[in-house]
């Protein structure tokens, strides 16, 4: 979405609750809970310092194939991977300190979707100068290369059909 205002006011979108207000504000998707960090049908991942953080599995975070690939590749590359909740306070503080390096969503349809901006009640946070982060780019390139048989599949993720 361009972020341009809708032809009518906020009340038109109020019946959609939070989703409607996010759409009205120009956002494509909502981080439904700062503690859970679920993005729509996928999962969010954050790189805070040298740590890649994703929420733990529970009722709204699915044990997805793409999520598993992301975590495995990150571990293969020697990144510190944590599956833990992240509070909004931690997210804001890490951005303020400059340790929030990148945020991306991962899921079957999009594989890796970098996030360039996060909005919250106190304003917006621009992430990585609005550019794709190095880990998100490397993960997407690696997963796509394995899917297209352009790179070795060390974990047996693909099958010849």
pLDDT band at 114 (very low <50, low <70, confident <90, very high): confident
Write out the E strands in the chain: 38-39, 42-48, 51-54, 80-83, 100-107, 111-115, 117-120, 123-126
> Two tokens at 115?
């996030």
For the entire predicted model, the pTM comes to: 0.74
Q: Give CA separation, 32 vs 26, 41, 99, 117, 120, in Å.
A: 16, 11, 22, 15, 12
Average of per-residue pLDDT values in the chain: 76
- How high is the pLDDT of residue 33? 42
pLDDT band at 63 (very low <50, low <70, confident <90, very high): confident
Lowest mean pLDDT among 29-43, 48-62, 138-152: 29-43
Residue 55 has pLDDT above 60, yes or no: yes
Higher pLDDT, 89 or 99: 99
Name residue, tokens 């991962």. Answer: 106
- How high is the pLDDT of residue 82? 94
Average pLDDT over residues 28-51: 62
The β-bridge relationship of strands 51-54 and 38-39 is: unpaired
> Two tokens at 104?
């991306």
Q: Tell me what percent of the residues of the chain surpass a pLDDT of 70.
A: 71
- How high is the pLDDT of residue 47? 94
Query: Do 97 and 42 touch, CB atoms closer than 8 A?
Result: no
Higher pLDDT, 7 or 43: 43
């Amino acid at each position: 979405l361009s972020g341009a205002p809708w032809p009518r006011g906020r009340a038109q979108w109020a019946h959609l609750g939070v989703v409607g207000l996010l759409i009205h504000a120009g956002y494509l998707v909502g981080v439904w809970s700062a503690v859970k960090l679920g993005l729509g049908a996928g999962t969010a991942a954050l790189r805070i310092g040298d740590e890649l953080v994703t929420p733990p599995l529970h009722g709204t975070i699915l044990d997805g194939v793409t999520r598993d690939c992301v975590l495995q590749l990150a571990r293969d590359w020697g990144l510190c991977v944590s599956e833990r909740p992240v509070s909004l306070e931690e997210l804001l503080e890490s951005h303020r300190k400059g340790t929030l390096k990148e945020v991306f969503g991962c899921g079957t349809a999009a594989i890796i979707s970098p996030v360039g901006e996060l909005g919250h009640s106190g304003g917006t946070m621009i992430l990585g100068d609005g550019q794709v982060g190095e880990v998100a780019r490397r993960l997407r390139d690696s997963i796509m290369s394995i899917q297209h048989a352009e790179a070795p599949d060390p974990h047996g993720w693909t099958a010849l059909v």
